[in-house]
Amino acid sequence: MSQANPSPSVLSQEEFLAASAELKNAPAEQILTWAEARFGASAAMAVSFGAEDVVLIDLARKHAPSVRLFTLDTGRLPPETYEVSEVLRNRYGLDVETFFPDRERVETLVSTQGHFSFRKSIEARKQCCGIRKVEPLGRALRGRQAWVTGLRREQSVTRTEVEALERDMDHGGLFKLNPLVSWSARQVWSYIQENGVPYNVLHDRGYPSIGCAPCTRAVKPYEDERAGRWWWESAANRECGLHVRR
């Protein structure tokens, strides 16, 4: 779903291409420092309190303190996610703007389709994600010039072409920064352990990727990190619509 955002004019196309080349293989700290200098509080960081997000929260406090944090509460998150969010809020003194889905749209969806409509078809699942995630994201990004995410190329087959700096044409051409794009899962966990960063305990129970409770399961040893998300679908379809590549 496209949202009406003002077209960012902070970077010309020439500057965007130069910055993309500069940040392509840059460390996460440099990418965040660049985001702080270029966008400051006009940038927003999406956090769902997974492993990548807790790393970004810790890094951002050091390298991009002006960047605002936001989260999407779908209404179906596991309790462990709320628990770690509180731990992180208290540890870092965070203000995390929280966006909920439109109440009337959720009521209509559940009243007409039931609580588990997302398992009926890909279209039904995308409808649910659209209401609970995509539309709230549009509101979260409204008026912003850039957003920061924890996307990594290694996460799944749908993310292998992600770049450190992109344009998000689904949201008015916002600049999209992915500081951990080249990190491996090993690097993520090394950072968490070395810096004592709190994390979601579901990761210790075989959940490398955590979303809504009914749509997430533990993964098997041979599966990729996002195999537990919408596991009844093919791997090529396992995106909720927040990160659309065109």
The answer to the question of residue 164 being in a domain is yes
The answer to the question of residue 163 being in a domain is yes
Say if residues 11 and 37 touch (Cβ distance below 8 Å).
no
Q: What is the pTM of this model?
A: 0.88
229 vs 127, which has greater pLDDT? Answer: 127
What CATH number is associated with residue 85?
3.40.50.620
201 belongs to an annotated ligand binding site = no
Residue 161: which pLDDT band, with cuts at 50, 70 and 90? confident
The answer to the question of residue 169 being in a domain is yes
The answer to the question of residue 6 being in a domain is no
Residue 11: which pLDDT band, with cuts at 50, 70 and 90? confident
Percent of the chain clearing pLDDT 70 (strictly above): 89
Buried/exposed code over 214-236 (b: 16+ C-beta within 10 A; e: otherwise): ebbeebeeeeebbbbbbeebeee
The answer to the question of residue 142 being in a domain is yes
For 93-114, write each residue's pLDDT tens digit.
999 999 999 999 999 999 999 9
**Active site (catalytic) residues:** 240
The answer to the question of residue 180 being in a domain is yes
For 83-92, write each residue's pLDDT tens digit.
999 999 999 9
4 belongs to an annotated ligand binding site = no
Is the per-residue pLDDT at 238 higher than 90? no
The answer to the question of residue 29 being in a domain is yes
215 belongs to an annotated ligand binding site = yes
The answer to the question of residue 236 being in a domain is no
Is the per-residue pLDDT at 241 higher than 60? no
Write out the residue range of the structural domain in which residue 28 sits.
13-206
Residue 8: which pLDDT band, with cuts at 50, 70 and 90? very low
What's the whole-number mean pLDDT along residues 40-57? 97
1 vs 212, which has greater pLDDT? Answer: 212
Q: Which two tokens stand for residue 227?
A: 């195999």
How many distinct structural domains can be found in the chain? 1
- Which pLDDT belongs to residue 158? 67
Q: Which of 138-147, 167-176, 180-189, 236-245 has the lowest mean pLDDT?
A: 236-245
16 belongs to an annotated ligand binding site = no
- Which pLDDT belongs to residue 35? 97
For 179-230, write each residue's pLDDT tens digit.
999 999 999 999 999 999 999 999 999 999 999 999 999 999 888 888 888 8
Is the per-residue pLDDT at 139 higher than 70? yes
